[in-house]
Amino acid sequence: MTSLAVARNVLRRILRDGRTLALIVILPLFFVLIYGNSFSGSYSDLRIVVVNEDNGLASVRTAEVGRVTLTVDLASAFVAALDPNVFDIVILDDADEALEWVGNGVWAALVFPKSFSNAVVSEAVRASGERKTEFEGNTVTILPSEPVAGPLTKLVIDDSNPLVAGAILAAFDSAFAAVLETQQSSVTVDSLLDASRLYEGEIRMLDFTAPGIIGFAMTLITVMLTAMAVVRERTGGTLTRILIAPVSAWQVTLGYTLAFSLVALFQAAELFLVSLWLFDIRFIGDPGAVILVIVLFAIGLQGIATLISTLAKNEAQAMQFVLFMLIPSIMLSGVFWPLETMPGTMRAISYAIPLTYANAALRKIMLTGHGLGALSFELSVLGAIAFVTLFLSILSMRRQAYTA
Amino acid sequence: MAAEQVIRAEGLRKRFGKRTALDGLSLSVSRGQLYGLVGPNGAGKTTLIRTLCGLLRPDEGEATLLGWRMPSTRVRSQLGYMPQDFAVYDDLSVMQNLEFFGRLYSLRRAQVRERANELLNLVELTDRKRERVGTLSGGMRRRVSLAISLLHKPRLAFLDEPTAGVDPKLRRSFWDHFNRLAEQDVTLIVTTHLVEEAQRCHVVGFLMDGRLLTQGTPDEILTQTETTNLDDAFIVLQEQGQVKS
């Protein structure tokens, strides 16, 4: 009976606490919705560049009318075979320019040589023997001919994200297969391609996820610590005592930021060193750039944590609000699953998560060795988040003293 | 010549939801006065103090402290506030608590040390100054809190039940100290539930339902209520207050 009384009391107190009650109901729903929506499974908006120099013609020898030229347009057929929902295809004229774009917002570049159609058809006939085709209303027999020497189709792929690279290659394979099928060919794709990987396949799944996991660990610890500390300071009455002294809210906020930035930097150093030492994660970039990213990221996190502490009446609530923030952080920031696999609505949330930018910036530095110049977008967003949340947390700090 | 008015409050009104905590309250306290704020639980004493300090914004009315209209940041360095809860860092030592809050008032390290030692002497915690506050008893923590509030020599101090849980001997020495501070022109607003403490105030204000029912020297209150001790006087006042509302 006593246990029942205890249980009744616990439940009654939960029911009294509107915010906790709301969190109990909403949190699981939130979790499932994000989970369900973020694994749509299919990719979209993968940007690739195609340079189509193929003249679309195939010159073949026939048994009936001698050498004729067929119009087959196989490179265009290949492009048409790519799913427009998956790929965002940019057509360029300049092959060198196209190859340069890879790794800078473009996942892959394909350069079809002038003789692409010709090469495919002649290879096909050579491999599978003579066959019939329609030519100017008549059926003609194409005869196998000498192999055509010519440049292969050039493919460069950004393999910094092994998942995306794998998905792109698979899609290309099936598009090529569809094209070759029209030519009844048993030719393999590989014999047509001069494929290269930007990072030579050196980036493992571990390397790819490491920056995000480190960022997530920082999010977890920094937000939790800061939110708890501020809530405790408020509920313990010491915040009132601080703010009634001749100090301003910005001085207090800055003090907090300074202290927790140091903690965050220490944590980050620990995370990086242990990851490097135990798992030899890829880190080819500038450590200074990493520190800059970490500091901006940490300030933003603290700002968010201070805002959370304003909403939370007590430490238990603060904890739940932190969870609210952490779930989308790990699932939607592209740590495990690329943003490109998420449906638009989920991706909109991704763009509101600081970890999305920290992860992208850290990957650029650690995996691909990009310098600060390539990080201007991520750094400006992280900087803006840091600035705005710091400003808001100063306001919230001031408010907290009055409501304490 | 009338003494300088250190606190002037006009028509303060503050509501929390449906409950009226301050109901058009006006108050003035002159310099060097030891002002005792008494009244039943929930009378609005803490709300009044928090509003005067600028920690709560009144819905109506205004308050002026040391010539500054509240809320003002200028007045803060001269203001002492001891909240009813302990408001100390349990995980720091007594001395570390004092040092931290002292630094907030831009006192130099040596100054803080000196003042801290004086006040630790007053609250009789000199031999415990290296101990963590969390290990001290409730009464001792309150003493730490009082020391923090007086560290920067405020000209005006609000002390919300400074002696709750403090033993009688020390309580008496606290009040000796309050009287000494008042002699040095420090103005103190002290809330209390104890008659013998109210007795030692220059002026006592009796608060009920967010209104100041009466105010005067302890003798004046006795005369007014036709009683012989403040205990009876407060009961009479409380009953009168209930009849009115």
Q: Is residue A62 part of a domain?
A: yes
| Cβ neighbours of B101 in A, within 8 Å | 241-242, 245
- The CA distance from A230 to the nearest CA of chain B, in Å, is 13
Contacts of A82 (CB under 8 A, 6+ apart): A89, A171, A172, A175
Minimal-distance CA residue of chain A relative to B73: A246
| Residue A189 and residue A210 in one domain | no
CATH number, position B86: 3.40.50.300
**d(CA B88, nearest CA chain A) in Å:** 6
Alpha-helical runs (H) found in A154-204: 162-182
- Does the pLDDT value for residue A404 go beyond 50? no
B86 touches chain A (CB under 8 A): yes
Residue A25 domain-assigned (yes or no):
no
The domain of A232 spans: 204-403
Cβ under 8 Å to A: B residues 45-64:
53-57
pLDDT in tens, B195-209: 889 989 999 999 988
Q: Which of B185, B227, B190 lies closest to B207, judged by CA?
A: B190
Q: For residues A124 and A224, state if they share a domain.
A: no
* Residues of chain A above pLDDT 70, percent: 96
Considering the domain architecture, whether residues A120 and A248 belong to the same structural domain is answered as no
Average pLDDT over residues B97-117: 92
In a domain, A314, yes or no: yes
Instruction: Decide: helix, strand or coil at residue A112.
Output: strand
What number is the average pLDDT over the span A256-272?
91
Does residue A384 have a pLDDT over 90?
Answer: yes
Cβ neighbours around A2 below 10 Å, total = 6
Q: What is the mean pLDDT of chain A?
A: 87
Cβ pair A238:B89 closer than 8 A: yes
For residue B1, the model assigns a pLDDT of 42
**Residue A336 sits in the same domain as residue A373:** yes
- Inform me whether the C-beta atom of residue A247 falls under 8 Å from chain B C-beta atoms: yes
Question: In the numeric block, which tokens belong to residue A382?
Answer: 């992280």
Of A145, A178, A197, at which residue does a domain stop? A197
Tell whether A12 is covered by a domain. no
Q: Point out the domain boundary residue: A197, A213, A234.
A: A197
Contact yes or no for B87 and A240 at CB 8 A = yes
A287-341 residue pLDDT tens:
999 999 999 999 999 999 988 888 888 888 888 888 888 888 888 898 887 887 7
- Say which residues have a Cβ less than 8 Å from residue A251's Cβ, sequence separation at least 6: none
Amino acid at residue number B217: T
Out of A240, A242, A401, the one facing B104 most closely (by C-beta) is A242
A237 and A96 belong to one structural domain = no
* pTM for this predicted structure: 0.81
For residue B40, pLDDT over 90 is answered with no
Q: How far is B94 from chain A (nearest CA, A)?
A: 14
Q: How far is A402 from chain B (nearest CA, A)?
A: 5
Question: From CA A209, how far away is CA B41, in angstroms rounded?
Answer: 59
Which of A197, A230, A257 is the last residue before a domain boundary?
A: A197
Chain A contact probe: residue of B70, B85, B106 with most A CBs at under 10 A: B85
Over residues B131-144, mean pLDDT: 92
Classify residue B245 as exposed, middle or buried by CB count within 10 Å of its CB (0-12, 13-18, 19+): exposed
Assess: ipTM above 0.85. yes
pLDDT tens figures, A1-45:
888 999 999 899 888 888 778 888 888 888 888 888 777 667 888
Quickly state the pLDDT bin for B245 (edges 50, 70, 90): low
Q: Does B101 touch chain A (CB under 8 A)?
A: yes
Domains in chain A, number: 2
- Domain count for chain B: 1
Report pLDDT digits (tens) over A125-168: 887 778 788 888 888 888 887 766 677 889 999 988 888 888 89
A310 and A250 co-located in one domain: yes
Given a contact cutoff of 8 angstroms between Cβ atoms, the answer to whether A307 and A396 are in contact is yes
In a domain, A22, yes or no: no
How far apart, in whole angstroms, are the C-alpha atoms of residue A289 and residue A275?
18
Q: Nearest residue on chain A to B106, judged by CA atoms?
A: A246
Query: Do A248 and A133 belong to one domain?
Result: no
Chain A contact for B105 (CB, 8 A cutoff): yes
State the pLDDT confidence band at A276, using cuts at 50, 70 and 90. Answer: very high
Domain span at residue B121? 5-244
- Nearest by CB to B104, which of A236, A240, A245? A245
CB contact (8 A) between residue B105 and residue A246: yes
Mean pLDDT for the stretch of residues A222-243: 90
Residue of A238, A240, A250 to mutate, interface with B, max B Cβ within 10 Å: A238
User: Residue A181 and residue B64: Cα distance in Å, rounded?
Assistant: 90
Q: Do A241 and B106 touch (CB under 8 A)?
A: no
Distance separating alpha carbons of residues A150 and A142, to the nearest angstrom? 20
Q: Say yes or no: A180 and A326 in one domain.
A: no
Q: Which CATH number do you get for residue A51? A: 3.40.1710.10
The tokens describing A290, both together, are 């990493």
Going from the C-alpha of A213 to that of each of A330, A335, A360, A363, the distances in angstroms are 8, 7, 12, 11
Contact B83 A248 (CB under 8 A): no
- Residue A19 inside a domain? The answer is no
Verify that A186 and A312 share a domain, yes or no. no
Residue A402, chain B, CB below 8 Å: the answer is yes
Instruction: Tell me if B55 and A402 make a contact (CB, 8 A cut-off).
Output: yes
DSSP string, A231-297: HHHHHTTHHHHHHHSS--HHHHHHHHHHHHHHHHHHHHHHHHHHHHHHH-----S-HHHHHHHHHHH
Which of left, alpha, beta for A12 (phi over 0: left; psi -120 to 50: alpha)?
alpha
A149 and A175 together in one domain: yes
Both A266 and A185 in one domain: the answer is no
Q: Tell whether B79 is within 8 A of chain A (Cβ).
A: yes
Mean of all residue pLDDT scores within chain B: 90
A338: its two tokens: 């690329």
Q: Are A167 and A248 found together in one domain? A: no
Torsion angles phi and psi, residue A28, rounded to 5:
-60, -40
Q: What is the CA radius of gyration of chain A?
A: 29
pLDDT, average across residues A234-248 = 89
Longest dimension (CA), chain B: 56
Indicate if the pLDDT at residue A183 is higher than 80: no
**A26 part of a folded domain:** no
| Contact criterion met (CB < 8 Å) for A238 and B88 | yes
Report yes or no on A112 lying in a domain.
Answer: yes
Nearest Cβ partner for A245 among B56, B83, B101:
B101
Contacts of B86 in chain A (CB under 8 A): 236-237
